[in-house]
Structure 1
Amino acid sequence: MSYRGVLSRVPEEQRDLDRMKSAAAEFYRVTGVPQVIERALNELFSHEPDDVYGYLANYFTNLSAPPRISRLKGREVYGARGQLCIEAKVFCIVCNEEKSMSSAAVSSHSGPKETSPDWKAKSGERAEHVTTAAQWINGPLNNMLKGQPPGDQSDVDHLLSDFFMARLLEEKDLRNQEKEESESPSEPEVPPPSPRSAQTKNKKSVDKGKKSNAAEKSLPPAEPPEPVVPGSSAIGAVSLAVAKTAAQTQGIPLYQHIAALKSRTAPARLHIPVSLVTLLSCGKTSPGKLNLLEEIILIPKAGQRVKQMITMTLELQKEMMRIMSASTKVGATQAAPCGSGAPAVAYERPEQPLDLIAEACANSGLALGTEIHLALNCAGPELMDCSKGKYEVATGVLKSPDELVDLYQTLISKYPAVVALIDPFRREDVDQWEKLSNGIGDSCSLLSDLTFRAKAPPLPGVRGHILKHIHETTVSDLIRITSEHQGSVLMGTTCSEPCSEDSWSDIAVGLGLDYVKLGGLSGAERMTKYNRMISIEEELAQQGILASEEKHHHPPPLFYDEPQEPESAA
């Protein structure tokens, strides 16, 4: 029986159905398309839902136009360390109404360290970058993306990248013009010294100068820093906000949306990346003299649940704190808090923090080198003293590139649990990368930061890359780079992390990465990411689509040479 027949037999006191009948008649009169209402009401009475109006609302929502971006809003917000960063918010027209959908924050550029002499100037530069990013979002980017469907991530990112490239070319033209103006002959030229005056110099001092300059001449010149275009963080923030909006309009998690973007279809199974956890910090910002090891990172055994891994790591850190508090050894002072979310210890030699971890593992019953492994984030490029051609591994302790190779080989030989070195040298020291790789063989993997050098030639011996989502990096860029560079590790946190953004966990899962670095286990902005990873793992397990960890070998596949078979979709 149709809804007309049903309505004719309904008592008058059922006012809800009477109102529906009157509304339908009015709709017929105004629109002239009674078949839509008739079909909806026929289905309504056949399903007999408990929520009549909710059923009709869902029915007509499915008939409405797909969401479109109506406007963008960019604003300056403060990050975890009080630094300014940009937040992009996306508004969409949904069911004929404008709704605030999703927002995202992306770091503008590496935040200035308070220990650097020019940190005030760099803070001002960062503020200018964030202000420009807000102007981009509220102005040209808003006009450019208005009317775009948020689900077309590739098209949106293409527009964003084209806009950025145009600004990059403008910035380069401006710099070239300023360079030409500065090089114009506006001042009288100073005549060169006469040969006679040069010959009167002390021969011994000249010879000494030649010897001292030999190392500098053999030292490869530093690559020019990648230009950071003011406002570039607007690109990454808008791209991520659009991706989150698309996931929200589809009613799916962000990781599922990114996985579908990467594989073109929703994958049958997803796995949780192994979380690389920062255990200790010993870099320039630490209270000790040791500069070399910016971070000592724990690599847990593959196959553990995230919550299990966090519990184990926290217990290990408590034991390390107990040892340091009770120790009377030189340099083993109480740990201080650090921006990386891990204790910053005061040591003088790289062996000291590694000995501490080994002792804590033995006391905790953890088999170092079996249950857990270690990675050392050396931050080599930051340690180079170009005037002397050496790396300052500790305050007052300088090592030539070749001497640093020997130091690394000694550490790896003494501590076999160390299975990865991150950025042990500058990119320019290609010979040392190759020498170290040949010396350590398969016992340890070399990783380099790919964030600013995606198109740079590969370094010899590098088996994995560190990738950060900053600046103009779009979601499409992340998908492309991780597809081209197997063994990528997404670094979802730095000392200048913008805010408590948990999207990095979704991104890592959606990209299908084997590893993700979320920082230490301290601070709300980092624990938010770990908690999100726990939630994703629970969701996948409940849905029965959590990939079996049996195919994730141990040691983790990035850190040994055995080839992996592709994981089946079954």
Structure 2
Amino acid sequence: MGEDGGRRGCGPPRELQKLKQQALEYYRENDVPRRLEELLNATFYLQPADVYGHLANYFSKLAKPPTICKVVGKKVLDGLGLPALQVEIFCTIQNFSKNICSVVMATHFEVHDNTVPELAEAEEAERADAVRTAVQWVNETITQELRGLVPSSQAEVDQVLRTFFENKVQEDKERKELEKSLEDSTVPTLPSLIVPPPPPTPPPSKKKGQKLGMKRSLTEKPIAAPEPVEPVLCGSMAMGAVSLAVAKTSAVLSSNPLYVKIASLKHPQEQPAKLTIPLLMVSLVSCGKSSPGKLNLMKELICIPHPGLSAKQGVEMLMEIQKQINKTIEMPPPPKAEAKKGHNGGKRGQQLITGKMSHLGCLTITYDTIEQPLLLIQGICANLGLELGTNLHLAINCAAHELMDYSKGKYEVVMGTYKNAAEMVDLYVDLINKFPAIIALIDPFRKEDSEQWDSLYNALGSRCYTIAGSASKSISRLLQEGNISTPKSSGLVIKHTNQTTMCDLVEITNLIDSKRRVAVFGSTEGESSDDSLVDLAVGLGVRFIKFGGLSRGERVTKYNRVFTVEEELVQSGTLGLNEELTFSNLNEEDEAAAALAGELPEPPEPIFPTEVVEASA
């Protein structure tokens, strides 16, 4: 054994020690800060590789923070094989360009199963143009505008994106005005070419036996004309995608999950000690207008597990229910029995035919009455030892805007059965009375039927949420007007689409919270496999999340992300418990008084028992 053989393996050779000693003397002579001396002393007995790593980590803290050097946009495919936008963020880190992260954002377009070929082709072209324009914006102007910015400065990034978008809106407006002026200038104005107005319509002839002044006994109030569709600027999805990508980049660089980053944006003064997993709204069956049956009203029948269950327990319970639905569909139909009249003139004895997988990730089933799908779930729960109203509750996405027959001025709730807006209020009240486990109605009316929204809210607001999804305005319009009370509802479905930035999402959820309403964070109909929406929902602290059914990869990946986030919060001890479901039927005076007082009114009794109910019998 050599002179220092006893130390071999636990210390550096003599030559390395000598070099370090010389380095110490050099730095002392050149007035190096004491912290660096301590650092060198601390590494005196480390192996060479460890020394270099230790020094690299130390000096990296003194280096310039990472800055955005490039933003890349690409056209990819969503879960339905339709065009979507991918955004990648590159940052300069210690003078090297590095790809930090990417996100995928689907378009805002609804998915129509039964569309006229001409309309389908037009929408397909519009969708492709939206993605193509967004890619161009990202790769040209946006990457230049964001170059050199620090990813953690989300407000600054979003302001740059907002300014860019406003300029594009102005350019689009000027282009349309120019096109209109050119069209007007080419219209012939010679008197000889002016078409004379048509002759006035003669008054209706008096029918035999009709008395003067006699009116129809049944006069219905004409329906409000549909509001013009809010314009969506082609390419606007670039703003939302880039904003999300920058937020995710900041989270990656700080070694934090995205939901922590979003929570810090939501609560800039003090990070919340607890984060909760929003309650799941899981679509189990679809039997709306796109289904082969006569029933139109129920686009999605949704289940909401008990708040006391974990997300994983709730999904496991619903998976078992879904298995039973599949078995029921596969069963051969029983012999025809004597038909019994059901709600809206339907037949209770009619057997459902078959089911196919919807783009929403749930089964599309043929039904002819409103009660049939509800009775199906009720019967399956009874067989599994589950109780509707205790273990789980129901919600219905009515999608009323798809049901209106404008030629008749009525909603076609069942094929051949039409109801006006006032009759729809009675239908919903009767349905909730028969099935009190229904605690939410999404889009029960068109947005134009404000009077019926008021009536339904006044009738059911104390025991059922009335939620505006498609009936609500876009997030940008809501923020511009500062009003979420039209139509009058218990809450809103919010989506991360188009030009909606992270700051916009924070602002709209703050507005919803201030009005004592509930926020439902939903996905678009043509979804991608990006699971960032889960982090957004958790960080924003919304009440519900709605990602569709438990099938299709783009849906399932989000539920898997929910499980992961839940496990991380449990391990870190920061998982908050979900509050019991309660309903607050507030009028405008109550809202104003609560806002002035800075406090909430006393909440009503929860509709769930306070103890946690097990998921299975």
TM-score of Structure 1 vs Structure 2, range by shorter chain: 0.7 to 0.9
Change (3 A) 1:431 1:143: same
Provide Cα deviations, 1:147-180, integer angstroms capped at 9, x if missing partner: 0000000111111112112212222333344445
The 3-state SS of whatever aligns with 1:186 is: coil
Identify the residue that residue 53 of structure 2 maps to in structure 1. Answer: 54
Match of 2:464 among 428, 435, 444: 444
Determine if the alignment matches structure 1 residue 391 to structure 2 residue 438: no
How much has 1:441 moved relative to structure 2? 4.3
How much has 1:444 moved relative to structure 2? 1.4
For 1:120 and 1:368, how far apart are their aligned partners in 2?
43
Change (3 A) 1:194 1:524: closer
For 1:19 and 1:127, how far apart are their aligned partners in 2?
64
User: Bigger CA drift: 108-117 or 511-520?
Assistant: 108-117
Identify the residue that residue 244 of structure 1 maps to in structure 2. Answer: 248
8 Å CA contact 2:583–2:603 kept in 1: the answer is no
The 3-state SS of whatever aligns with 2:364 is: coil
8 Å CA contact 1:279–1:296 kept in 2: the answer is yes
Identify the residue that residue 199 of structure 1 maps to in structure 2. Answer: 202
Identify the residue that residue 275 of structure 1 maps to in structure 2. Answer: 280
How much has 1:416 moved relative to structure 2? 0.7
Match of 1:468 among 495, 500, 522: 495
Which residue type is aligned with residue 109 of structure 1?
A: H
How much has 1:46 moved relative to structure 2? 8.5
How much has 1:490 moved relative to structure 2? 3.9
Identify the residue that residue 41 of structure 2 maps to in structure 1. Answer: 42
TM-score normalised by structure 1 residue count: 0.87
User: Bigger CA drift: 312-321 or 281-290?
Assistant: 281-290
8 Å CA contact 1:105–1:501 kept in 2: the answer is yes
Change (3 A) 1:88 1:439: same
How much has 1:112 moved relative to structure 2? 4.3
Identify the residue that residue 352 of structure 2 maps to in structure 1. Answer: 332
Change (3 A) 1:408 1:186: farther
User: Bigger CA drift: 134-143 or 288-297?
Assistant: 288-297
Match of 2:507 among 474, 480, 487: 480
For 1:558 and 1:18, how far apart are their aligned partners in 2?
75
Question: How many aligned residue pairs are there?
Answer: 542
The 3-state SS of whatever aligns with 1:91 is: strand
Identify the residue that residue 613 of structure 2 maps to in structure 1. Answer: none
Moved over 4 A (4+): 10-22, 32-39, 46-50, 179-185, 200-207, 210-215, 558-565
How much has 1:428 moved relative to structure 2? 0.8
Change (3 A) 1:40 1:12: closer
Structure 1: tracts of 5 or more residues without a match: 1-9, 566-570
How much has 1:280 moved relative to structure 2? 1.0
The CA RMSD over aligned residues, in Å, is 3.1
How much has 1:297 moved relative to structure 2? 0.9
Matches within 5 A, 1:290-305: 290-305=295-310
How much has 1:263 moved relative to structure 2? 0.6
8 Å CA contact 2:287–2:298 kept in 1: the answer is yes
Provide Cα deviations, 1:340-388, integer angstroms capped at 9, x if missing partner: 1111111122211111111111111111012111111111112222232
Identify the residue that residue 186 of structure 1 maps to in structure 2. Answer: 188
Determine if the alignment matches structure 1 residue 260 to structure 2 residue 264: yes
The 3-state SS of whatever aligns with 1:489 is: strand
Match of 1:505 among 520, 523, 534: 534
How much has 1:564 moved relative to structure 2? 5.4
The 3-state SS of whatever aligns with 1:294 is: strand
User: Bigger CA drift: 12-21 or 84-93?
Assistant: 12-21
Which residue type is aligned with residue 225 of structure 1?
A: V
How much has 1:514 moved relative to structure 2? 2.1
Change (3 A) 1:20 1:102: farther
The 3-state SS of whatever aligns with 1:282 is: strand
For 2:443 and 2:510, how far apart are their aligned partners in 1?
22
Match of 2:582 among 557, 560, 567: 557
For 1:393 and 1:294, how far apart are their aligned partners in 2?
11
Identify the residue that residue 530 of structure 1 maps to in structure 2. Answer: 559
User: Bigger CA drift: 10-19 or 295-304?
Assistant: 10-19
Identify the residue that residue 7 of structure 1 maps to in structure 2. Answer: none
How much has 1:410 moved relative to structure 2? 1.7
Determine what percentage of the aligned residue pairs are the same residue: 41
Change (3 A) 1:77 1:401: same
For 2:520 and 2:456, how far apart are their aligned partners in 1?
24
How much has 1:320 moved relative to structure 2? 2.1
Match of 1:428 among 448, 460, 464: 448
Change (3 A) 1:128 1:204: farther
Which residue type is aligned with residue 191 of structure 1?
A: P
Change (3 A) 1:560 1:277: farther
For 2:146 and 2:226, how far apart are their aligned partners in 1?
39
Identify the residue that residue 218 of structure 1 maps to in structure 2. Answer: 222
8 Å CA contact 1:247–1:257 kept in 2: the answer is yes
For 1:15 and 1:526, how far apart are their aligned partners in 2?
61
8 Å CA contact 2:404–2:412 kept in 1: the answer is yes
Identify the residue that residue 593 of structure 2 maps to in structure 1. Answer: none
8 Å CA contact 1:374–1:417 kept in 2: the answer is yes
Which residue type is aligned with residue 308 of structure 2?
A: G
Identify the residue that residue 103 of structure 1 maps to in structure 2. Answer: 102
Give 1 or 2: higher helix fraction: 1
Matches within 5 A, 1:369-388: 369-388=389-408
TM-score normalised by structure 2 residue count: 0.81
For 2:218 and 2:123, how far apart are their aligned partners in 1?
32
The 3-state SS of whatever aligns with 1:344 is: strand
Change (3 A) 1:257 1:49: farther
Identify the residue that residue 139 of structure 1 maps to in structure 2. Answer: 140
